[in-house]
């Protein structure tokens, strides 16, 4: 294993891989959480667009057909692979920012934090990044025009589409909040009630907003009459956005986190303000010191739980890099990884309370992910979010823009926990203009012979899901097995090894309990992973969409 000094890591973050004589992918792929969004991406590829063009089309289409997971009122992270004589990677941070009027006691009433205020309504909304990201991606790396790339989404919004069981289920989870907001109820419900499958969802206001964006770019959203309409409606409903908030918003190009692994592979993943990328890197580095491949299922679950326990503990040290100095070097240093791995006992769980202090970030778990590979070898993996299902459940009148509730991803109460039982962290406290910490972690694994892309929604479970899929890849399994493998999870606190229904047998559970784990079978499956794979020696490529969702992996 090649370990990095502080200087070497900084060099590595600027490093690009010299491409070998790879055979270009024989087929392009788009894998997303909704068939109509995947089809929008394929349509753009057929028109001569590249992976970035398709990413713009898929992002916009998901805003229409999957309003519970992402949208123009939200944000996200984009990881890009640029093919050529040298393979270069980029990371676009389109995470939302806290309004300038936000402060540490924003949700505190009479000394007590009200979680309801950070979840529902416009006060819960941070300044969105997706409109700016679409324009930035188009200008910097698009081959087609922004108008061409947004055309499929505009048609979907204007003409409508039939909702499926996934929409119906997720709307049911937020029914009361949607009913409370007249505009959201008008658009997303059928006469105030949960719509039946097959009901046609039409969003003409959103189509108009997308058309404005297509014609004038991001300035149409963040400045001028449209911005004034947003701010006036949000302030009238109790929010704190200002025109200055919108005018000052910018996406950020950041250096992706690149970490060498065994067998000449490297992990390319999300840097802060994602905490997920570092958790994935730490987990993989620790696992390289453990015999996880030879272990039987219960013992492998033990190793994974102990690795996740330690990686998740360190996330409390991370925050928005524009506000704090993140200790990336220290968290990935050889000494730290070895110390954590060597503290794992073969037959005994380590109680989280026995580890040095740490805490876990706030986070919602309802996001979306897509992965795209074009026939030149360019790739995009993106994870997008509104936070809770349907975000703040507040739609700005006459715009079709459903707002996020990402302010709940801050530690509104650094001494307490949020709706997900996750402990607060001072470095992730609310501050004007700050980006909340996230687990969203679109990732690549690349070596001389293979390239793979990973990502999923799932809040705090995103890093563990990505690691589990990566282990299937490292074991030589096919992409459909990466996304279908049973899932287990540990996040330091609460000190519980959770698992999907049926992921562990009774006998395996008993062994884990004997080792000191508290095990808990979850009530439902989780995640919606989208992956792709390219065998560079042959040019063969493939993709897979999580069977737990209703997404589709389409080829061209």
Owner of token pair 């929604």: 457
Paired tokens of 458: 């799932």
Asked if residues 250 and 277 have their Cβ atoms less than 8 Å apart, the reply is no
Paired tokens of 365: 């778990």
The residue ranges of DSSP E strands in 279-376, in sequence order, are 366-373
Question: How many angstroms separate the CA atoms of 202 and 15, rounded?
Answer: 46
Question: How many angstroms separate the CA atoms of 180 and 173, rounded?
Answer: 14
Q: What is the three-class DSSP state of 545? A: strand
Owner of token pair 């493939």: 542
Paired tokens of 257: 């986190």
Asked if residues 6 and 329 have their Cβ atoms less than 8 Å apart, the reply is yes
Paired tokens of 3: 């370990």
- Evaluate the CA torsion angle 269, 98, 96, 238 in order and state its sign: positive
Asked if residues 290 and 307 have their Cβ atoms less than 8 Å apart, the reply is yes
Question: How many angstroms separate the CA atoms of 351 and 2, rounded?
Answer: 31
Question: How many angstroms separate the CA atoms of 285 and 239, rounded?
Answer: 44
Residue 315's closest CA among 457, 467, 422? Answer: 422
Q: What is the three-class DSSP state of 136? A: helix
497-499/395-396 β-pairing: unpaired
Asked if residues 502 and 485 have their Cβ atoms less than 8 Å apart, the reply is no
Question: How many angstroms separate the CA atoms of 74 and 125, rounded?
Answer: 9
Paired tokens of 333: 């240093």
| Residue ranges in 160-271 assigned as alpha helix (H) | 165-173, 175-180, 182-188, 204-216, 219-222, 224-236, 243-248
383 is catalytic: no
How many CA atoms, within 13 angstroms, populate the side-chain half-sphere of residue 154?
Answer: 14
Active-site residue, from 87, 209, 269, 367: 367
- Active-site residues, by number, are 367
């Amino acid at each position: 294993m090649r370990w990095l000094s502080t200087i070497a890591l900084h060099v590595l973050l600027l490093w690009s891989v010299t491409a070998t004589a790879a055979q270009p992918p024989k087929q392009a792929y788009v894998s997303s959480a909704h068939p109509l969004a995947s089809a929008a991406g394929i349509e753009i590829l057929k028109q001569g667009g590249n992976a970035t063009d398709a990413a713009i089309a898929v992002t916009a289409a998901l805003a229409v057909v999957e309003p519970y997971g992402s949208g123009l009122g939200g944000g996200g992270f984009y990881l890009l692979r640029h093919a050529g004589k040298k393979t270069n990677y980029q990371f676009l941070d389109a995470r939302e920012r806290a309004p300038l009027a936000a402060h540490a006691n924003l949700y505190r009433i009479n000394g007590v934090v009200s979680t309801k205020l950070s979840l529902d309504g416009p006060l819960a909304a941070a300044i969105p990044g997706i409109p700016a990201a679409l324009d930035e991606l188009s200008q910097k790396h698009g081959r087609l025009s922004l108008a061409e790339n947004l055309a499929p989404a505009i048609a979907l919004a204007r003409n409508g589409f039939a909702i499926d069981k996934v929409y119906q289920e997720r709307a049911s989870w937020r029914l009361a909040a949607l009913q409370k907001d007249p505009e959201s109820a008008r658009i997303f419900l059928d006469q105030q009630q949960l719509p039946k499958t097959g009901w046609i969802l039409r969003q003409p206001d959103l189509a108009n907003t997308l058309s404005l964006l297509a014609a004038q770019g991001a300035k149409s959203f963040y400045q001028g009459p449209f911005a004034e309409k947003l701010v006036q409606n949000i302030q009238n409903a109790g929010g704190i956005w200002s025109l200055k908030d919108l005018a000052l918003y910018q996406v950020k190009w950041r250096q992706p986190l690149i970490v060498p692994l065994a067998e000449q592979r490297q992990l390319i993943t999300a840097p802060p303000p994602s905490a997920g990328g570092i958790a994935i890197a730490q987990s993989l580095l620790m696992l390289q010191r453990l015999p996880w491949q030879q272990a039987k299922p219960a013992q492998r679950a033990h190793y994974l739980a102990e690795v996740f326990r330690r990686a998740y503990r360190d996330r409390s040290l991370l925050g928005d890099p524009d506000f704090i100095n993140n200790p990336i070097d220290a968290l990935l240093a050889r000494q730290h990884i070895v110390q954590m791995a060597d503290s794992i006992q073969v037959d005994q769980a380590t109680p989280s309370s026995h580890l040095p202090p740490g805490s876990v970030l706030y986070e919602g778990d309802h996001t979306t992910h897509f992965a795209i590979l074009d026939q030149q070898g360019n790739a995009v993996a993106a994870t997008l979010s509104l936070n809770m299902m349907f975000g703040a459940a507040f739609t700005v009148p006459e715009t079709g823009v459903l707002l996020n509730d990402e302010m709940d991803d801050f530690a509104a109460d650094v001494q307490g926990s949020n709706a997900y039982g996750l402990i607060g962290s001072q470095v992730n406290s609310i501050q004007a203009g700050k980006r909340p910490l996230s687990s969203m972690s679109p990732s690549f694994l690349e070596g001389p012979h293979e390239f793979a892309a990973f990502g999923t929604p799932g809040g705090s479970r995103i890093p563990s899901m990505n690691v589990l899929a990566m282990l299937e890849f490292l074991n030589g399994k096919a992409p459909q097995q990466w996304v279908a493998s049973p899932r287990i999870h540990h996040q330091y606190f609460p000190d519980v090894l959770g698992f999907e229904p049926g992921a562990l047998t009774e006998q395996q559970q008993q062994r884990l309990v004997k080792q000191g784990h508290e095990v808990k079978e979850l009530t439902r499956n989780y995640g919606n992973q989208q992956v792709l794979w390219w065998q560079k020696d042959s040019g063969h490529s493939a993709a897979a969409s999580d069977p737990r969702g209703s997404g589709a992996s389409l080829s061209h």
